[in-house]
Amino acid sequence: MTERPSASKAQAPLLRARFAADPAEAMARINSSIEFDKRLYAEDIAGSQAHAAMLVAQGILSAADGTAIADGLESVGREIEAGEFQFDPALEDIHMNIEARLIALIGEPGKRLHTARSRNDQVATDLKLWVRAALEGADDRLRDLQAALIARAEEHIETVMPGFTHLQPAQPITFAHHLLAYVEMFGRDRGRMADARARLNECPLGAAALAGTSFDIDRDATARALGFDRPTANSIDSVSDRDFAMEAVAAAALAAGHLSRLAEELVVWSSPGFGFVRLSDAFSTGSSIMPQKRNPDAAELVRGKTGRIVGALVALLTTIKGLTLAYAKDMQEDKEPVFDAFDSLILCLEAMVGMIRDLTADPERMRAMAGSGHATATDAADWLVRVLGLPFREAHGVVGRLVRLAEERGCDLEALGLADFQTIEPRITDGIFDVLGIDRSVASRNSLAGTAPERVRAALARARERFL
């Protein structure tokens, strides 16, 4: 392997020819991004391969130079993959590290690679390629989560549980219906990620520093080679745009918010007070002092990591908000929040998929709570409207007084006798009891998108068709 030049020798001809003195130690440290942007090595090499091939096709580089550059970049990539590459902080970033190594390997042709481009369009292209792949990876895992939720829902189409508002039992629903609510949420997240991917898929390469280049380049060719739909339309916007990063992280933050809501439900449902579900041993932890404890730490960490994903979005928005066009070094701060947001999101998605796949539900416990809190009161009010013709607001008041009577008696609404009902509204008949059971209540919610089992079966079939 060709010996690498020292940091000082490598840096001088590449970046510091116009300076008489070396940078201060603090300047070198604050200016260097290699510790995090080395993650972009594959994207950087791919962009350089496409750029070099285009330069050859346009007659800007010779075929021999193009071959040497292509072979050299492949060698650099193999060194990095094998863990043999020595990243040098003095070379600042992934672009200069790869270029310096390329020059060390192939000599003069390597110095020609940077013709008709800048690190400004290079880094925008690298980051777009990385974000595009990250969005695709997140979409794959969101689909896995939807599949897990749908599979679990199919087991519980007729499992009755309480539906809540304000975390108070409101109306009986089915467990499948509740799980399908999250399938819809994650479907919207996938839509946002697809939108973000479609919008970012324009190639900045060839915009150079900010004004384009005087060389006769073919930006369509490099765009095609890298899988972009087209080149970007304005050279200034090409290098200063980080909308794609912020939009992707915004989509990630929304997905994390949905994951956090589901995680919170798992925490609540697995507590002894609810006992609706049991998380598997694989996604539970114990206590260092209390041997009986079974903690839902995976769910809690999903909930907790939402904060850092939202924080990444705030960091990006704050970084970009006051920048004039075109490029400024502030933009170096774009990568760590993007990397961290998607690393966290992917991990949370993988953990949630595992929790849902391993989940054990307790239908009896769910059913017992589904009938608590006079959960069929709305059904009674609907019966008064439908059978007696009462205006709903009047029916609401009648049932409210019936609920108060049941609470005074210490019993459920359906445990009251007909005479009790008639003391509040004399026209009530024993037909009202037909709607007070939780199974009848659930079955009656047969409107589109309702919780009735037949509606849920249809919704499951549609969900499989739409998302899987």
**Residues tagged active-site:** 166, 287
Q: What is the 3-state secondary structure (H, E, C) of 300-314?
A: HHHHHHHHHHHHHHH
CA distances for 18 relative to 32, 33, 100, 327, angstroms:
19, 22, 18, 20
Structure tokens at 207: 């915009």
Q: Beta partners for 360?
A: 278
**Tokens 């590290």, residue?**
97
- Listing DSSP states for 79-128 in one string gives HHHTT-----GGG-SHHHHHHHHHHHHH-HHHHHTTTT--HHHHHHHHHH
Structure tokens at 54: 């285009």
Give the 3-state secondary structure of residue 429: coil
Structure tokens at 356: 């849902």
235, 262 Cβ separation under 8 angstroms: no
Give the 3-state secondary structure of residue 249: helix
DSSP state of 162: E
